[in-house]
C-alpha cells in the first residue's frame, strides 16, 4: 500500500525531521534531495534505494557527519550538530573495529571519548555485550570473531551510550543469508525491548519489508522520496511472516515501486 506522507508523524512525535534537505558535494555532485522525511519516536523506518541514490548521505547528514547544502534537520528536537550528541548511535556497513583492541575495549570507545568514569564504563560495556549475546567474548580480539559476531560488536558499541536513535547503514549487507536473517531477528527483538527509533538503510526489498514499520523508497541521483509503504505484519515478526503470502505480496509492491524509480533494481 503506497501511502506517501500519510503516516508521517507530527512535529511533536518526530525523533528525526528533514525539511527540504539537499546535499551537493564540493565536487558538484547533487547527491540528495530536496527531501522531506519524518521518523517518529520509536518508529522503525527503512530507506530503500538503488546504489548511489544518497541513502548514506542522508544518514551522514542526520548524524551531523556532513553538512546539508540547504534545508533543515532536527534530531531529538535539536537543529544544530552534534544534534543531541549521544542521542544517536551509528552502525556502518563495515564493523570498523580496532584490530589491536579487545572486544570490550572496542565497545568502550564511545564512553572513553566521553570521559565516562571507569566503573560505569565497565558496567555499560558488560550490559551492551550481553544484549548482543557476546558476554563470553569480552577479552577476545576482532580477528577471532566471525563476520556476524563483529557486526554484533559494532551494534553493542552503538548501544553502549544508550542512544534514543540508531542510524544503520546497510549493516548486514556483507553477511551470508542465514547470519543476516538471524541478525534481522535479533535487531527486531532489540528494537521491541529497547524502544529505540531506527532508521535503517538497505538495498534489499526483502530486508526492508521484514524489518520495518515503514519503507521509504528513494529514486536515483539526486535522491528523492519516490514512495512510502506502511508494512502490515503480525507482531512479533518471525519465520511465519517471512514465509507468508502477505509478506511476499508486500515485497512485490515495494519492488515494483523501486523498479518504477528507474534506478538499478535493489537486490534481495
Ligand atoms: N564525499 C563525497 N564527495 C563527493 N561525492 C560523494 C561523496 N559521498 C558520496 N558522493 C556521491 O553522492 C552520491 C550519493 O552517494 P551515497 O553514498 O549517499 O549513496 P548510497 O545510496 O548510500 O549508495 P550505496 O547504496 O552504493 O552505498 C553518489 O553519486 C556518490 O558518488
Supply the residue whose CA is at minimum distance from atom 31 of ligand 1. 52
For residue 17, the Cα-to-chain-centroid distance in whole angstroms is 15
Residue 125 Cα to ligand 1 midpoint, Å, equals 33
Ramachandran angles phi, psi of 154, nearest 5°: -60, -40
- Predicted local distance difference test score (pLDDT) of residue 12: 67
Q: What is the pLDDT of residue 259?
A: 94
Spans of the chain, pLDDT less than 70: 1-8, 11-12, 80-86, 263-268
* Nearest C-alpha neighbor of 171 from the set 199, 196, 200: 200
Q: Where are the CATH 3.40.50.300 domain residues in the chain?
A: 1-76+165-268
Nearest residue by C-alpha to atom 14 in ligand 1: 54
DSSP H or E run through 17: strand 14-24
pLDDT the model gives residue 5: 44
Q: Which CATH superfamily is domain 1-76+165-268 in?
A: P-loop containing nucleotide triphosphate hydrolases (3.40.50.300)
Atom index in ligand 1 nearest the CA of residue 60 equals 18
pLDDT in tens, 174-211: 999 999 999 999 999 999 999 999 999 999 999 999 99
Contact 209, 243 (CB under 8 A): no
Residue 11's pLDDT is what? Answer: 66
**Phi, psi values for residue 257, rounded to 5°:** -65, -40
**Ligand 1 contacts CB of residue 224 (under 6 A):** no
Number of other CB atoms surrounding residue 67 within 10 Å: 10
For residues 39 and 16, give the distance between their C-alpha atoms in angstroms, rounded to a whole number. 5
pLDDT value of position 7? 60
Predicted confidence at residue 262, as pLDDT, reads: 82
The DSSP H or E segment spanning 184 is helix 177-194
pLDDT, position 79: 76
60 lines ligand 1 (CB under 6 A): no
Q: Which residues contact 42 (CB under 8 A, 6 or more apart)?
A: 15, 195, 196, 197
* pLDDT tens string 221-249: 789 999 999 999 998 999 999 999 999 99
Single pTM value for the model: 0.93
Amino acid at each position: 500500500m503506497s501511502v506517501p506522507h500519510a503516516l508521517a508523524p507530527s512535529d511533536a512525535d518526530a525523533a528525526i525531521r528533514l525539511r527540504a534537505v539537499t546535499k551537493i558535494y564540493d565536487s558538484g555532485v547533487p547527491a540528495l534531495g530536496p527531501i522531506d522525511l519524518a521518523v517518529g519516536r520509536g518508529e522503525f523506518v527503512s530507506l530503500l534505494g538503488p546504489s548511489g541514490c544518497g541513502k548514506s548521505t542522508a544518514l551522514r547528514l542526520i548524524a551531523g557527519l556532513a553538512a546539508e547544502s540547504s534545508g533543515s534537520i532536527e534530531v531529538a528536537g535539536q537543529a544544530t550538530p552534534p544534534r543531541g550528541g549521544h542521542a544517536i548511535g551509528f552502525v556502518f556497513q563495515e564493523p570498523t573495529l580496532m584490530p589491536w583492541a579487545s572486544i570490550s575495549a572496542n565497545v568502550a570507545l564511545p564512553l572513553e571519548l566521553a570521559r565516562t568514569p571507569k566503573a560505569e564504563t565497565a558496567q555499560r560495556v558488560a550490559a551492551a555485550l550481553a544484549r548482543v549475546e557476546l558476554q563470553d567474548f569480552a577479552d577476545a580480539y576482532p580477528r577471532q570473531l566471525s563476520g556476524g559476531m563483529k557486526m554484533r560488536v559494532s551494534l553493542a558499541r552503538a548501544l553502549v551510550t544508550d542512544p534514543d536513535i540508531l542510524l544503520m547503514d546497510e549493516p548486514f549487507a556483507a553477511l551470508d543469508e542465514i547470519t543476516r536473517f538471524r541478525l534481522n531477528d535479533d535487531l527486531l527483538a532489540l528494537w521491541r525491548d529497547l524502544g529505540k527509533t531506527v532508521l535503517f538503510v538497505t538495498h534489499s526489498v526483502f530486508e526492508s519489508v521484514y524489518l520495518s514499520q515503514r519503507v521509504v523508497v528513494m529514486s536515483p541521483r539526486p535522491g528523492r522520496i519516490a514512495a512510502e509503504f506502511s508494512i502490515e505484519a503480525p507482531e512479533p515478526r518471525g519465520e511465519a511472516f517471512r514465509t507468508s503470502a502477505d509478506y511476499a505480496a508486500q515485497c512485490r509492491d515495494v519492488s515494483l515501486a523501486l523498479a518504477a524509480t528507474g534506478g538499478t533494481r535493489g537486490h534481495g
